[in-house]
Structure 1
């Protein structure tokens, strides 16, 4: 559904301090298959939204090319727009109009033959029928996000762009929206999803790229990316991080000192942990806390960038 190569975008800002040039996207390549949920994971300011806006024809790339649903992004932008739905971070739900009226308007804009029937179908699909005639301002955050996705899907596009779809939602509404997104995959819709939530990328995405400072630093399935770092992570708080790191080298595939904690990456944490604890005790290294976890996408981000995604201001 998407094949993009070498996408680049630079913005120039002017202020009292002078002109500043920001390379928002620096040579991004993406391939998204039919019926696939493909994630773009990274901290705020990594270039996720700029990438999606270029692919959605909302802004033009400075360089690169892409074919979307068999149409050239640069030469056939109108044809590309007919093949996709786009849901921005803001969502686009209007306060005064009802959800039904907004969805019917979107259907007319997209040239749907029977806007009322299309609106009724998508309202039912997202369990919005009972609240369909209420003004947008009376809807909850979760309901508004479902309406925004309905707006993007009313013309039944084969490809949907979701830019940070669950930002600001409580855990229950996030989980509900995750289920809706999974149903899109089951119906054959391809989804390009940007997020800074680690658990969201892990749960939803068939494949993903991790982006940082406008560049892709890792790509693969969540499982492949985590296996590439290590099987398990033992996180310790100890007195003398450097001494402990040197002592534990024989146990680890990799050791990282991350501020006040030591991360020891091992193949089999359950069997390694007892021997590791004995060694610390024998060497007289005082242990404050210890945790054993499966490798996460945050560990992948840390391995490729040298810092934790959580420390960038993104939420876990």
Structure 2
């Protein structure tokens, strides 16, 4: 019997284990993800994050344990699970020969959707790519490619999207662009599970954070709950200095238009005396 709590979960994982010969990658993983939330699976390289995503997306079978995605068992109802999710890997899977719009139209046609042109145009607007719609993807920046990749993943309106290391290899501006896109996804009701090894990324994006270490979830909670695990901070007067992110965004801006950059006055040969 399915409970109300279970219906509110987009993902429910219990006792997941996986080994590759003698290497135990997952050693009993348990967590759940609420619908419409951003859940970050945080861990270093080799912690098992990608293995979890592969199991949940039916690309890999666990040795033991259970996993449900959108209320569907990933083993017995794998085909239905695949229809209800989208997976974006660590590197953008886009066709660089085609334009951004052509990439989106292609995927919409492969999914046998009506009016692929309208679908493509809507997603280009949603991810701020309309101005680059007719440019070949080979001319896109890393952040633009990643946003296009995520947009392609949303064709068909899947209720759940997996983002495996979504900002791998991106520069600071590209990371910020992807972060904004992910926040917009959740704001429109899409459930997002992202894996990352970047602490600031999990802190910036996630409603809940689970730390995966040596194949186990060692802590799972909101950022506030995780901070409570440490001793209370002592209060001291410290002059507030701008962070590097403050400096970067002030100089570059969210759209890269240099809002605060003021040109220096041109040198003059006149003697002020």
Scaled to the shorter chain, the TM-score interval is: 0.7 to 0.9
Q: How far is 1:9 from its partner?
A: 1.7
- Give the match for residue 236 of structure 2: 270
Q: CA RMSD in A?
A: 1.6
- Whichever of the two has the greater Rg, that structure is 1
Distance between the aligned counterparts of 1:123 and 1:25, measured in 2? 38
Q: How far is 1:231 from its partner?
A: 2.9
Alignment of 1:44-55 (within 5 A): 44-55=45-56
Distance between the aligned counterparts of 1:177 and 1:72, measured in 2? 30
Task: From 8, 11, 15, give the equivalent of 2:20.
Answer: 11
Q: How far is 1:132 from its partner?
A: 2.0
Q: How far is 1:164 from its partner?
A: 0.7
- Give the match for residue 258 of structure 1: none
Distance between the aligned counterparts of 1:221 and 1:148, measured in 2? 28
- Give the match for residue 284 of structure 1: none
Q: Which has the higher contact order (CA 8 A, sep 6+)?
A: 2
- Give the match for residue 30 of structure 1: 31
Contact preservation (8 Å) 2:91, 2:168: no
- Give the match for residue 59 of structure 2: 58
Q: Structure 1 or 2: larger strand share?
A: 1
Q: How far is 1:109 from its partner?
A: 3.0
Distance between the aligned counterparts of 1:159 and 1:109, measured in 2? 20
Distance between the aligned counterparts of 2:54 and 2:202, measured in 1? 19
Distance between the aligned counterparts of 1:102 and 1:37, measured in 2? 26
- Give the match for residue 162 of structure 2: 161
- Give the match for residue 237 of structure 1: none
- Give the match for residue 92 of structure 1: 93
- Give the match for residue 279 of structure 1: none
Distance between the aligned counterparts of 2:148 and 2:219, measured in 1? 33
Distance between the aligned counterparts of 2:56 and 2:94, measured in 1? 22
Q: How far is 1:159 from its partner?
A: 0.6
Alignment of 1:219-258 (within 5 A): 219-232=220-233
Distance between the aligned counterparts of 2:24 and 2:137, measured in 1? 37
What is the number of equivalent residue pairs in this alignment? 229
Contact preservation (8 Å) 2:18, 2:64: yes
Q: How far is 1:66 from its partner?
A: 1.4
- Give the match for residue 210 of structure 2: 209
Distance between the aligned counterparts of 1:114 and 1:60, measured in 2? 36
Distance between the aligned counterparts of 1:66 and 1:94, measured in 2? 33
Contact preservation (8 Å) 1:118, 1:155: no
* TM-score w.r.t. length of structure 1: 0.69
Distance between the aligned counterparts of 1:174 and 1:204, measured in 2? 12
Contact preservation (8 Å) 1:82, 1:110: no
- Give the match for residue 102 of structure 1: 103
Contact preservation (8 Å) 2:36, 2:192: yes
Q: Secondary structure at the match of 2:68?
A: strand
- Give the match for residue 184 of structure 1: 185
Provide structure 2 residue ranges, at least 5 long, that are not aligned to the other structure: 1-9, 239-273
Contact preservation (8 Å) 1:104, 1:116: yes
Q: Secondary structure at the match of 2:62?
A: coil
Distance between the aligned counterparts of 1:24 and 1:106, measured in 2? 34
Q: How far is 1:213 from its partner?
A: 1.5
Distance between the aligned counterparts of 1:170 and 1:67, measured in 2? 35
Q: How far is 1:97 from its partner?
A: 2.2
* TM-score w.r.t. length of structure 2: 0.79
Q: How far is 1:62 from its partner?
A: 1.8
